[in-house]
Amino acid sequence: MEAVVALDPEDGEDAREKLIYLMALMSSNAVALPRNDVQRAIVTLRPFKSDLAETLGPGSAGDRH
């Protein structure tokens, strides 16, 4: 889990995949992600905020494949 949290996405698609993976993991209750890890993950995703908002925002299909 440490590697995923610390991973710096290379582009908007990497950021999207990381965010979806972490959201799925946290919602499954399979792993209790410490608050500090969530905050670190957010820092790595912040540069892609506009890409993520466009992809996952209201009215989005959510699937860009």
Per-residue model confidence as pLDDT tens digits over 17-53: 999 999 888 888 777 889 999 999 999 999 999 999 9
- Cβ neighbours for 1, distance < 8 A, ≥ 6 positions apart: 25, 31, 33, 37
Number of domains in the chain: 1
Asked if residue 23 is part of any domain, the answer here is yes
At residue 57 the predicted structure's pLDDT band, cuts being 50, 70 and 90, is confident
Domain encompassing residue 10: 2-49
Distance CA 11, CA 52 (A): 11
Q: Which two tokens stand for residue 57?
A: 């925002």
Asked if residue 63 is part of any domain, the answer here is no
Asked if residue 54 is part of any domain, the answer here is no
Distance CA 1, CA 20 (A): 14
Asked if residue 22 is part of any domain, the answer here is yes
